[in-house]
Copies of this chain bind each other. A is one copy, B any other.
Amino acid sequence: MLAMAMTDSPRKAASTAAWRAHACASCAARALSICSAMHTEDLGRLAAARTHQHVDAGETFLNEGDAATHFFNIIEGAIKVFKLMPDGRRQITGFLFAGDLLGLAFNDSYTYSAEAITPVKICRFPRRQLERLLDEFPKMEKRLLAMASNELAAAQEQMMLLGRKTAHERLASFLLSLARRERRYGRGGDAVQLPMTRTDIADYLGLTTETASRVFTSLRKRGCIEIETANSIRFSDRDTLEELASGLE
């Protein structure tokens, strides 16, 4: 809101969504994964306070500057987290998928916006509820600290990418990290799904749409990847891609 108010940005603003309470099993299961030591009744307390929501693709459901009253759990779909400059320049700081948590930062207001890439199911918890739980379950706090720590390491890796890598190295790194993620979650193999647009990828890698597209083509012509559709690619030479990503060629 704050960030949007002072801008003539061409990107469109959010629509405020109405949140409805709704029961859901996978949601509680996810909360469980944060801390297996939590008692069932406490889980229930958290579950009671949560609300569910479907968000359409392209909808912004969290705005930089808004009071940080809730945190979110992506149940299904993909979202992008980003920051805007007054003139509309955009930097995507991360893509989040099913199972990821959003909004855990302990600041007064959100320091980023979030928008659905695909139709998304999300689960929203009040932060106060969480903080009360944290007081009772220190293990949960440790778990969150570990998560934050991993995110921080990832952020530093991304700084390396944005500050020092070439366009080719950036895209190779990105595709491989997506593939690694898919592998970690069971699926995978040599195909990677790209739910986001070329413009999103460019805004994540600090490039323009045109450059992103050109590098896709270039990697294809070099025999590193096959482009089945714009949103689905397949690795045909993962080794070369790995070398590219780490800057060895």
Q: Which residues of A does B touch, CB under 8 Å? A: 83, 85-87, 89-91, 93, 104-107, 111-112, 134-135, 138, 141-142, 144-146, 148-153, 155-160, 162-165, 203, 205-206, 246-248
Contact A145 to B152, CB < 8 A, known contacts A85-B246, A159-B91: no
B206:A91 contact, CB within 8 angstroms: no
Q: Which of A163, A205, A248 has the most CB atoms of chain B within a 10 A radius of its CB?
A: A163
Q: Which residue of B lies closest to A105 (CB)?
A: B149
Q: Roughly how many angstroms separate A145 CA and B145 CA in the complex, as a whole number?
A: 6
Other contacts beyond A83-B156, A86-B246, A145-B145: 7, CB < 8 A: A86-B248, A89-B247, A91-B159, A105-B149, A106-B145, A107-B150, A141-B141
A91:B164 contact, CB within 8 angstroms: yes
Q: Which residue of B lies closest to A94 (CB)?
A: B156
A149 to chain B, nearest CB (A): 4
Contacting residues, chain B, for A93 (C-beta < 8 A)? 156, 159-160
Contacting residues, chain B, for A156 (C-beta < 8 A)? 83, 93, 111-112, 155
A91:B163 contact, CB within 8 angstroms: yes
Q: Roughly how many angstroms separate A22 CA and B59 CA in the complex, as a whole number?
A: 57
